[in-house]
Amino acid sequence: MNKPILIQVCGTTAIGKTSLSIALAQHFNTEIISCDSRQFFKEMTIGTAVPFSWELEAVPHHFIQNKSIFDTYSVGDFEGESLACLTELFKKHQVVILVGGSGLYAEALINGLDQFPKVEDGLRTKLKDQLETEGIATLQNQLKELDPLSFKEIDLDNPQRLIRALEITISSKKPFSSFKRQNQIQRPFQTLRVGLEGERSEIYKRIEQRVDAMMEQGLLQEVEGLKSYADLNALQTVGYKELFAYLNGEISLDFAVSEIKKNTRRFAKRQITWNKKLEGVHWFNYREAHSKIIEKTQQLLDEL
């Protein structure tokens, strides 16, 4: 191996990426970089499926609950910080593990950020006002019409991502998706991608089981403690916004939980679309024993 190796663990939410990444890190005696943008925030634990304490203690993790919901933190910030972290880790380890469901953040570290054109003055404010007065569905439909590819790929329930895609599309008069992945930056490391997959029905069942487990672990109480900050961008996400609606008396608790499951399934569907476009992923069924995946991963590394 001429260059150090970054092993990215891919797959949808609830598929088992965390446990596999820990098993790989233990095998290679290395550390983990998380690229799950929801797990950056220390105030959010249950609803973002932060690894359990014993999992965090098993292997050193980076970028888990390292920010506050009051911080402004972008994918560009993550690119710079994670690249600096990775540089230090490669001084100690030949292999480092990258795991998390935020594909854009993983791509920022691996290939660098895409270059976008300048946005029209005042357009973001206009779109935010439209969000407040007309609701998120209006912006979602607008993106579907202007850029169907981005509509399929981005997190439509994240207002910040939605507005970003629209402001680039409207300003440039070209789809947001047309600016993506134009120029890949050469990094001083190689990337090996391994992924977990399963039948969609199985993934959806695992999602529903995870949501039920989150509720049993105290997700409602966690969200209740954050109610005063419900307008913050970090909290405009699945598992929180639905329970805020319940706490505001807008919907029943049963309906809120069913909405969390539905919106998480939609998120998983977009992850599947994203992952299908990744090149060179070595896919394994999520039921495959970790020992078998590790053995194959070691073989792949030996071939580099």
Q: Residue 95: which CATH number?
A: 3.40.50.300
The verdict on 30 and 70 lying in the same domain is yes
Round to whole Å and give the CA distance between 15 and 207.
8
Q: How far is CA 64 from CA 39, 203, 247, in A?
A: 6, 24, 27
The verdict on 129 and 198 lying in the same domain is no
- pLDDT attached to residue 161: 83
Joined together, the tokens standing for residue 34 give: 């998380």
The whole-number average pLDDT for the span 279-303 is 97
The verdict on 97 and 229 lying in the same domain is yes
- pLDDT tens for 184-228 read 678 999 999 999 999 999 999 999 999 999 999 999 999 999 999
Round to whole Å and give the CA distance between 258 and 251.
11
- Neighbouring CB atoms inside 10 A of 296's CB total 14
**Its pTM surpasses 0.95:** no
The verdict on 40 and 69 lying in the same domain is yes
The verdict on 109 and 230 lying in the same domain is yes
Round to whole Å and give the CA distance between 103 and 267.
12
CATH number of the domain within which 145 lies = 1.10.20.140
Q: Give residue 247's pLDDT band: very low, low, confident or very high (50, 70, 90).
A: very high
Round to whole Å and give the CA distance between 209 and 104.
26
Residue 196 Ramachandran class (φ > 0 left, ψ -120 to 50 alpha, else beta): beta
pLDDT exceeds cutoff 90 at 62:
yes
- pLDDT attached to residue 160: 82
- pLDDT tens for 77-99 read 999 999 999 999 999 999 999 99
Contacts of 271 (CB under 8 A, 6+ apart): 11, 12, 13, 101, 103
- pLDDT attached to residue 49: 97
- Neighbouring CB atoms inside 10 A of 218's CB total 13
- pLDDT tens for 253-276 read 999 999 999 999 999 999 999 999
Residue with structure tokens 């390292």? Answer: 66
- pLDDT attached to residue 183: 58
- pLDDT attached to residue 181: 58
The verdict on 16 and 159 lying in the same domain is no
Closest-CA residue to 156 (of 131, 179, 187): 131
Task: Quote the number of domains for the chain.
Answer: 2
- pLDDT attached to residue 225: 98
Instruction: Give residue 146's domain range.
Output: 123-179
- pLDDT tens for 151-193 read 988 888 888 889 989 999 999 999 988 876 555 678 999 999 9
Contacts of 119 (CB under 8 A, 6+ apart): 167, 168, 171
Q: Where is 285: in which H helix or E strand?
A: strand 281-285
pLDDT exceeds cutoff 90 at 117:
no
pLDDT exceeds cutoff 80 at 1:
no
Asked which of 179, 200, 227 is the last residue of a domain, the reply is 179
- pLDDT attached to residue 186: 84
**Which amino acid, residue 255?**
F
* Residues forming a β-bridge with 211: none
Are 194 and 11 spatial neighbours (Cβ–Cβ below 8 Å)?
no
The verdict on 136 and 215 lying in the same domain is no
- pLDDT attached to residue 166: 94
Computed over every residue of the chain, the mean pLDDT equals 94
- pLDDT attached to residue 184: 63
- pLDDT attached to residue 228: 97
Round to whole Å and give the CA distance between 250 and 2.
58
The verdict on 26 and 163 lying in the same domain is no
- pLDDT tens for 19-36 read 999 999 999 999 999 999
The verdict on 21 and 158 lying in the same domain is no
**Which amino acid, residue 295?**
E
Strand order in the sheet with 281-285: 61-62, 32-34, 95-99, 5-10, 190-197, 281-285
With a pLDDT cut of 90, the percent of the chain lying above it is 80
